[in-house]
Structure 1
Amino acid sequence: MSRRPGRPDRRPARSGRRTGARALAPLLGMLLALGLATAPPTAAAPDATGRRVAAWSPSMTTGGPSFTDTTLRMVVHSSVAGSQPRITLSNRYSPEPLRVDAVDVAVQASGGEAKTGTSRRVTFGGSGRLTVDAGAEAVSDAVPMTVGAEQNLLVSLHLPGPTGTSTWHSDAFDTTYVASGDHTADDSPAAFTATTTSWYYLAGLDVVPSTAKGTVVAFGDSITDGYHSSTGTYTRWPDLLAVRLAAGHGPQRLGVVDAGIGGNRVLTDVPNLWQGVSALKRFRHDALGRPGVKDVILFEGINDIGNNAGPDGAPLTAQHLIDGYRTLIDEAHGAHVRIIGATLMPDKGNGYYSPAAEAIRQDVNHWIRTGGAFDDVIDFDRVMRDPADPAALNPDYDSGDHIHPDDAGMRAMADAVDLRSLRT
C-alpha cells in the first residue's frame, strides 16, 4: 500500500546549513531517520492531577521539505473533550535542530480562519521561542482553553529556517495552510496563500480530560492512516471509533489517536523513508508513549505480505509475522497496556495478491483468532470480505483498488470494534 507522498504546492528551497547543533545531535537525528537508532518513549508528563490523555497524535517520519521564514497552520481534530491542552513538537526524524519563533493555537472557524478571540500564544518552559534538538521532542506548557470532542483547532508555527529535512506526516488527509513570514497570530487566512496535505513537526495534542479515562491507539498502515478517505472529513475508521466512544455507545470514555502510516510494515523499514521505520522500531514511541494509553489496536502486516518482506531480506513466512506480533504484545504487556489484534483484510484484485501471499494471510489470521496471545481480537477480515469471494473485499466497501475501504467500509470497521473490549 505505497504511493507517492503529497507535496506542498509551494516548496521552499532546501538548505544544508546547520545552526549550532550539539556535536552528536545531527548524527543521532540521522540515525533515527534511517532506523539505525531507537529513541525511548517520550510521553508527555502528567499534570498535577496525574490525568492526561492523548486527544490527537499522528506518527511521524523523515523526508519532509525544508522551510524558511514560513508559517505552517495545521488542523488538529481532537478526539476527546478536555482542558489545558498541550502540544508536542517533534524533530525526531530530522538531522538538524529545529528553531521555532512562535506557536499559536486557536479554534478553527473555517478553512485557515481562526475564530475571533480564541487565539492563544503557546509557550515552552515559559518562552514563546524554542529550539528542538535533532532526534528530540518538546511538550508545551498547558494552554488556558477548553477543547471539545470532535472540535478542530488551528496550530500555527513560525519557522525562521532553513529547517533542512523536516519531520512530518505525509498523508494527513487534512489541509495545512502555508504563509510566508510570521502570521501565527492572524485570525484571517489571507496570508495563507498555499496549502498542502501533510503535517509538519506537530506530533501531538493532549488534554486534561472532561470524562475520558484514557486513550486507545489505532496502530497500523495506510488503511488506519485513512488512505482514500476524503480530505478534512475525519472518516478514517479511528475517527469514527472516536465518535462512537464520545457518543456514549459503551461504558468507556477514551480518546482515540491514529498511529497509522501509509506503506508501513511490521518487520522491516520501507525504502521510501516517508513510510516510516518498522512497527518493531516505532511501537514503543508511537503507541506506548502516548499519554494515558490503555489499549492498542494492532492492525498491520499486509505490506509485509504484499512485498514478501521478511527479516534480513528473507522471503516472508507467516511465522515471521507471528514472531513480530509476539514481540509487540510483550512490549505492550510490559507497559501494562492491553493489545487487541485485528485480522488482515482481503486484497484479491490488488497487485499484492497471489495464491502464496493469500496463504500467508490466512495462516496469520488463523493465529490471530486462535493463538490466544492478544488480549482480544477484532475480525476485520470477516466483516470486510466479499461473501461470494472471501479472498476479496466486499464490493460495497471497496474504494476501487481492492485493498483500501471506502467511507462505508471505514464505518463498518469502526462498528466492528466491540467497545466492551476496551479498558475503562
Structure 2
Amino acid sequence: MFTTAWTASPQSPSTGFTPNWSQEGFWRQSLRQVVRLSAGGDRVRIRLSNAYGTSPLRIAGATLARTATGAGAGAAVRAEPVRLTFGGAASVEIPARGKIIGDAAGLAVAAGESVTVTLHLDAVTGPATFHAQAFATSYRGAGDLLADTGGAGFDETTESWYFLTAVDVSAARTDGVALFGDSITDGFGSTPGANRRWSDALAARTGRPVLNAGIGGNLLLNDSAWYGEKGVHRLERDVLSLAGVDTLVVLLGLNDIGFSEGAAEPTYWPAPRVEVDELIAGHRELIRQVRGRGVRVVGATLLPFGGSDHWGERAAKVSHEFNEWVRCSGEYDGVVDLHRALADPVASERLRGVYDFGDHLHPNDLGYEVMAEAVGVLL
C-alpha cells in the first residue's frame, strides 16, 4: 500500500515568475530535482506528468537517491543512486497529455527526509510541464548524469520543478492532509531552500503526510496562462487522485477578487469582477466533488490583505462577505479562521506586521508557522 509523501501541481509552460526552462524544454540533458518527503517507508515510486506536452515525452532513464546535506552540497547525493523502472523497463515514453506512475524501488526513507530524483532526457522534450515556484533548487547538466554522486556535472540551476508531480512511499497511512490554494499555499514569502512553507510546518507539527497543492496566482473560477487551471477543474487531478488523503484544506479565492483591483497583470487582464455569490458557488463545487470520496473538507477564511495590490473597496467587501459565509454557513466539515489568526489586532484588515513578508499579502516564515498551528488544532 502506498501513501503520497510529496506533490507539486503541474502547470503549462510559461515565462512564469522567475527564469525557468519550461518553454525551451530539454535535450541530451539530465535533470536533478530535490523534494522533501512528509512520510517515510521502505519503498518509493515517482509520478511523472506530460499533462501540457504536445508530443510524447521520452524518459531515457531515472534514478533516486538520498539527498546530500550540509553547506555547499548542491546537486550531490549521499550514495550511489538507485535505478528506477517503469513497467520493468529502464526507459519509458509518456504520451502527450499523459502521465505515469513508476515501479516501486527499494530505498528506506524517513518522514522529513529529502530525496533526489534524476531524469535523463536524451530526446527533445519540447515545452515542459512544470511547477513554476518550487522555492527549492533544481539542477541541469549535459549528457547522462544518472549515476553522478558529486553533482559537479550539474552546472545550471532553476527554482522550478519539471515533469515530477508526486512521490509515493510504501506506508499504510490514510491520514494525509492536502492543502489546496494559491501562492500562499505554494509558499511565496517563505525562505527559499529552507522548507518553511506552511505545508512543511504542518507536517512537522502533526507528524502526518502533508501535500502541497498550491499554485502561485491560482484562481478558483478562471484559468490563466501563468497561474494554472482553475481550482474547480484541477481538484481531482491535483488532490483526489493522490494516495492516502483523508483531509482537504481549501484556501482559495483571493486572486479571484483581488486581480481586478490592481494594475494590469501581464498574463491575466482584463480580470473579471467576481462577486461573493460566484465565489461561494465555486467553493460549493469543490465541496460537491469531495463528497462521497471519504475525504473531510475544511474551509479556511481568506487572510487579511489590506494595503496590498489586491486591496480595494470592492475586494474588501467581497472578502468580508465570503469569510462570514465560511465561518457561519456550516457547509464545510470544519473551519479554520486564518484571517483572525494572522490579523493585526489594531487594523484587522491587515496582516500583523510580524507575520508580513513585506507585500501585505503573503506571510513570512513565522506567519506560515501560525497558519500551521491554527490548522493543526483541527486535525
| TM-score, normalization by structure 1 | 0.82
Cα distance in 1, alignment partners of residues 316 and 127 from structure 2: 38
Cα distance in 2, alignment partners of residues 233 and 135 from structure 1: 32
Cα displacement string for residues 271-318 of structure 1 (whole angstroms, at most 9, x for unaligned residues): xx2310100110111111111111110001000010249xx9753110
Cα distance in 2, alignment partners of residues 274 and 100 from structure 1: 25
Cα distance in 2, alignment partners of residues 313 and 345 from structure 1: 21
Paired residues of 2:260 and 2:271 also in contact (CA < 8 A): no
Q: Any gaps of 5 or more consecutive residues in structure 1?
A: 1-50, 247-253
1:163 to 125, 145, 148: 125
Cα distance in 1, alignment partners of residues 274 and 160 from structure 2: 32
2:48 is the counterpart of 1:89: yes
Cα distance in 2, alignment partners of residues 228 and 69 from structure 1: 34
Cα displacement string for residues 297-352 of structure 1 (whole angstroms, at most 9, x for unaligned residues): 0001000010249xx97531101000000000010113221110000011111111
Could you say what the CA RMSD is over the residues aligned between the two structures, in angstroms? 1.6
2:182 is the counterpart of 1:221: yes
SS in 2 for 1:114: coil
Report matched runs for 1:162-311 at 5 Å. Answer: 162-209=124-171, 212-246=173-207, 254-270=208-224, 273-308=225-260
Paired residues of 2:39 and 2:110 also in contact (CA < 8 A): yes
Deviation at 1:212, TM superposition (A): 3.6
Deviation at 1:373, TM superposition (A): 0.6
Cα distance in 2, alignment partners of residues 79 and 401 from structure 1: 29
Cα distance in 2, alignment partners of residues 97 and 172 from structure 1: 25
Cα distance in 1, alignment partners of residues 173 and 242 from structure 2: 14
1:74 to 12, 33, 42: 33
SS in 2 for 1:145: strand
Cα distance in 1, alignment partners of residues 260 and 282 from structure 2: 15
Q: Kindly, what percent of the aligned residue pairs are identical?
A: 38
Cα displacement string for residues 203-244 of structure 1 (whole angstroms, at most 9, x for unaligned residues): 1101112x7433111010000000121221110001100011
Cα distance in 1, alignment partners of residues 60 and 205 from structure 2: 38
2:91 is the counterpart of 1:129: yes
Cα distance in 2, alignment partners of residues 274 and 190 from structure 1: 32
Q: Which amino acid aligns with 1:233?
A: A
Determine the structure 2 residue equivalent to 1:115.
78
| TM-score, normalization by structure 2 | 0.92
Q: Which amino acid aligns with 1:274?
A: W
Determine the structure 2 residue equivalent to 1:21.
none
2:322 is the counterpart of 1:364: yes
Q: Which amino acid aligns with 1:297?
A: V
> 1:199/1:313 Cα in 2 relative to 1: closer, same or farther (>3 Å)?
closer
Deviation at 1:153, TM superposition (A): 0.5
Cα distance in 2, alignment partners of residues 348 and 388 from structure 1: 12
Cα distance in 1, alignment partners of residues 190 and 271 from structure 2: 33
Q: Which amino acid aligns with 2:311?
A: Y
Determine the structure 2 residue equivalent to 1:348.
306
Determine the structure 1 residue equivalent to 2:348.
390
Q: Which amino acid aligns with 1:160?
A: D
Paired residues of 1:53 and 1:214 also in contact (CA < 8 A): no
Paired residues of 2:355 and 2:366 also in contact (CA < 8 A): yes
SS in 2 for 1:287: helix
Paired residues of 1:340 and 1:374 also in contact (CA < 8 A): yes
Paired residues of 2:174 and 2:245 also in contact (CA < 8 A): no
> More displaced, 151-160 or 331-340?
331-340
Deviation at 1:145, TM superposition (A): 1.1
Cα distance in 2, alignment partners of residues 234 and 314 from structure 1: 34
2:315 is the counterpart of 1:315: no
Paired residues of 1:269 and 1:276 also in contact (CA < 8 A): yes
Cα distance in 2, alignment partners of residues 141 and 386 from structure 1: 49
